[in-house]
Structure 1
Amino acid sequence: MEPLRSSDPARIADHRLLGRLGAGGMGVVYLARTPGGALVALKVLLAEYAEEAGFKERFRREVEVARRVDSPWAVPVVDADADAEAPWLATAFVPGPSLGEAVAAYGPLTERGLRVLGARLAEALSEVHRAGLVHRDLKPGNVLIAHDGPRLIDFGIARAPEDTALTATGMVVGTPGYLSPEQAEGRGGDGGIGPASDVFSLGCVLAFAATGRAPFGSGAVDALLYRAVHDPADLDGVPAGLLEVLGSCLEKDPDRRPDAGELARELAADGAARENEAQDDEASEWLPEPVTRLIAERSAAALALPDIEHTLAPSAGPAASAPAEPDTRGTSESAQPQDARPAGRRRFLLLAGGAVALAAGAGGTWWTVTRDGDAGGDGAAAAASSRWPVHTVALHADLSGPQRETGKAQERGLRLAVAEFNARDDAPFTVKVRAVDDKGDPATSARLATELTDDPAVLAVVGPTSDATAQTSLAKYDAGLLPVVAVSPGSTVLSIQGFRSFLHARLPDAVLPVYVSNYLRGTARSRKVGIVVDRPAGNYATDLSTSLSNVLGNAQQPSVPEVVSAMRRDFGSAVDAVLSAGADSVFFAGLPDRGALIAGTLRERGFDGARISGPALLDEAFLTKAQESAEGWTMVAPVIDATRKPEARKFAAAYRERWKEAPPRYAAEAYDVTGMLLKALAALPAKSRTRENLLAAVRAGKYTGITKPFAFEKTGLMVIDGNGGYLWRVEQGDFVYGGPAPLTV
């Protein structure tokens, strides 16, 4: 990002400009914040273009086209104004490089990376074509790279195949070198440019990503157009396993090319691009490590960008003047102006490079919840439904897939909070629960999010369960401004994408290394930390390891990094490397099954120093596979043991009474955020109980739960008042809760 120039405005509409992302002959693209604090890429056209006949109508069509494309792999439109003096368009900000930038700087992708890239771009194109459109300008510069996959951008010349307003016969539109033969020959007048043209361009993009060069070379435009029509593509260097599929994309005859859906299935035939596979293969190795690191650094830097000025008057939601109700579990504080909040309150801010700092400040209007009465059955809702208004709170979770235990725990926590609310004599309305199961599948998650958003009875959602399912669903919820509160996903990327309705009710993974560092330098008295980064863990490992390296570096604590490829199942060389370098403690950034491998290796080496990891290892699979090698391992996680925390005793007893077992991890957290939502909703006047007002009330307030206090930044990140990280240790073959992780050394 470049700094703003003196000629640049400070704002466009209500969007605050932060810097320049790029500029061209038609205008400038800025990085900006929406009034709600979301980061967007804001494309502004030069004013003189708006004076051309038909320009505003074409620009308005671009906006409409982009909004018709519904895919997790296409960047969504956030806002636009085609009638402004200088028309502008804002899309969600992706803090990653373009494909062209990534390949030019770090080289071609592996076959696995090409399959992930191709399958997801083909899925995006399939949605473009399903909307009755053709993109027409697919090239490396129009593909942005994120941790979980690519994002297709720029629908400026996308049109229906029969639309000749921009593509009359003989007119060539697009980027030479990536144009189909029919585009190169200007076959627009007879409707000859259809979906197959995009498939050809995708073949060109994949060839570039595989070799680092365009398949029809470089040089004069006329030469590039001629080669596209007459010459075979240069596929020298393309992995053998992809030659046939790329060759089919680059057929000169459009009728011989696969359609986008067929291409997506063929590229994903080996399962490489499926996000619902076993976690040891999930999205691993799809990007070169430097690109992964670049995305992590840009993501962390985005979190440190300025927020909306504090001089702006905050919008006064209906909850701003509502009186706080008494609370039998915590304290209630009166509302205060933002600049008059107690100086003693502490919050975490992620800074560039993953470092974390403490700064004064916390929420605005404070809220607590009344939980009088014992847990009741779902029959309480039925008994009250004839007397009170009914509102629905939804659970979006993995209830039958790989994270079903976490999903079921959250469902039960939510249902218990709802049952207690409905049992209250003074309940101003009845709450119904709608639970949906995405089975851990990102595509299903997106579909269910659309269904919940389209249901006007649903005023809030708790979930989803995983990073992958959250990533594909949050844009859907945001489109309907449906408040969604997540307690288990941890990816930092979720919080910086600017979703207005998303509330991240746990510490992101990139913050947890602050506690890890304090534990290692304080409790463990470590002098040098070995950091083992397991590539199959993808951006989870990157978030943890990058942040820990920076935190240790800021504390002048030596560390020894070692990266393990997904192709290796032997951690011997990595362990030997960090130990021979003098590491007396080891941090593992990875997932449970391979965590068991490194645990076994450390035990074989007789290592008795501190062994610590993040929340992923807090999983029964680690205990089962590591056996005695798991003994003594410590985990830092954003979750409590409700049976060991005094404030949660009443909840734990009610949970045992209802389900005949101790509450599992994440049940109390779901119980808390459900209580927070219901408290805020109950404080609103009956006619003001809308999604938008509920979101405003939760964002403006603070809620004291049984697990921790909850308050939120404008970006949806949680403000931590005290602790948000907790220690767990393996003792005698089980996870034992150790209380709050250390805030200081």
Structure 2
Amino acid sequence: MTEPLLATDPARIAGHRLLGRLGAGGMGVVYLARSPGGTLVALKVIQAEYAEDGAFRERFRREADAARRTDSPWVAGLVDAGPGAVQPWLATVFVPGPSLAEAIAAHGPLPVRSLRVLGARLAEALRELHAAGLVHRDVKPGNVLLAPDGPRLIDFGVARGPEDTSLTSTGVVVGTPGYLPPEQAGGGVEPVPAGDVFSLGCVLAHAATGRPPFGTGAADGLLYRTAHDAPDLEGLPAELAEVVGRCLAKEPARRPTADDLADLLGRPTTGTPMPDPRVAWRADADGTAVPEERATDDGWLPEPLVRLIAERSAASLALPGVDDTEVDAEGKAGGPLRRRFLLLGVGAAAVAVGGGAALWAALSDGDGGTGGASASGKPVRTIGLHADLSGDQRTVGRAQERGLRLAVAEFNADARRPFTLAVRTVDDGGDPGRSRAAAAELVADRSVLAVIGATTDATTLASLATYDAASLPLIAVAPGGSALGAAGSRSFLQARVTDTVLPFYLDVYLRGTAGSRSVGIIDDRAADAYAWEISSTLTRIRQKGRLPAVPKVVSALRSDFGPALDAFAEGGADSVVFAGYHDRAALLARELTGRGFRGARTAAEGVLDARFLSAAGDAAEGWVIVATVMDSAAASAAPGAKAFSAAHRERYGAPPEPYAVETYDVARMVAGRLVALGAGKAARPGLATALRSAGYEGITKKFAFDAKTGTLVIDGTGVHLWKVVGGRFAYQGVAPFQVSA
């Protein structure tokens, strides 16, 4: 966060007027400064106590030399430097935009066009760097800044030539784990340009999916996965998959050069030509910062990021005239400069050091989410997303994040909005232990007024007490366990029918559409409570209606379903219901096909997973799934779904996945409740009460909640049929809740 100058900070360094502190790093301090010619710069200075350290001074000298030797419009260019000064310093062009890391965290993955421009321009920057005989060695999202005309590569603190071994020690890893090439994971290896290409591939994968390709966690684990595991490229747009995959080849010789990569990604095919981005900012006669050349926006970034950059630019560059720093009798910096930076905001700090606190977190004043304000002056309300973004259910977590971000972007696009919505995400990796810590993180952020999540029953249960103690509303979109509503949480809402409701729809389908007389029901103990809720409820329904059923329990230790299928044949079952998850459903599907079974094969939500299709192969054909998610792109989808699907394709370059539109609905519901409450009542407990007591009609269903349990009131909406047709899940429409006469 931007801070005023300290009493110990000088007013000027080498003729540069210091305006404030942008951040402090391992070597020193980064200031926002005005050069003698009026240009705004990011001025990096080694602290006095480190200036005598030869290693620090040498690294600083190399950074300045690397910047001088690179003449690329896609690098934050060097303005001036004094590596030999008593306190070494260097000044680079000030870029008023967020880092790529911050942009992804705030607004999610980039669309295909943005990815192409990002990759091509960074490849061009690396091409110039490599042509100068240098290797960057730390290409990562935090070292990429976004501007209206293209990205900028920054931070050459560890850049060096392959022949320079003066600062390399055996076993020392230089760079950022998770983005380092595998050949550098052990340290002590001479850097090569192909290593930068690997790092850029990691950056592109992260920008396209919202996830680092080798996950997160401890450095040793990241280094091991980088060296031995395949990258996680799920969700990467098909047209970029091949080139990113080549960048991430384990062997350096198999990767494209930076020059080849720039050609492969190509220049944008739409929009006006990009202007020369080497635009310096200067102060005009009244002290207002203006660009020396007016750059035009060619639309390479999605609209939310364009607005973010505009807000950051306005907040960071609208600087009045600067007086000399005043020091009072107590030695504290004061006067107009201090007052101005208390109002400046966070733009400069976040961008000049390639990262920093998120915009909305920095703007929050800690009053429960009602005090922060955006650069436009509107108050800020934050919706948290607690999801599995890196574990077994990351596809669901990604869909939820995209649905939430689309709803927030749509809300913020309305100039009449009374406040600005923001998003904060936490990833529990599907681990209940991590879920509690993730919940605590969102609870501690007082700007967060509601949370959508978590992704699974187990992670939701693990976090309920944390959210409840803080009266922070937690709205579950994907979890369906009945235990969630029975936990007694005052702030929990379950925005889908429970798993115990789905067997009613399965029974209606089997008796009606499928024309089944006797049903074989498999309770797969490997799926524990989920399987029991589906199988036991369906068995009771059949018994109550005096309808034939053959229930069988299969041990989690068994890898075949032969005995259960023998019992079905003996009992005359002409259809099968599988209560379990996708992996063992595939085993059952292949066994049924091998036996020539021709009856209906059905399951509930746990089998609606692309991994079932790939594992079962042709044996998946014809399976019918009852689930609480719709296909918003289907012709039979509800009104409004097609518009959502079109927006999703435009933003993410792909059709919506299950749980995206459901999360979109919930986010819009939360926004509507916040608007209705008004500024004076926008607090966590009041919002939880309002959500439980008021209804909302979304695209996917009508939302109304039991005032005591927070579970969704059943009204016949919100349950859908899917069928495997031609090797894919084909949406069949809303599931009937009664058998037609």
TM-score between both structures, scaled by the size of structure 1: 0.49
- TM-score (ref. length: structure 2): 0.49
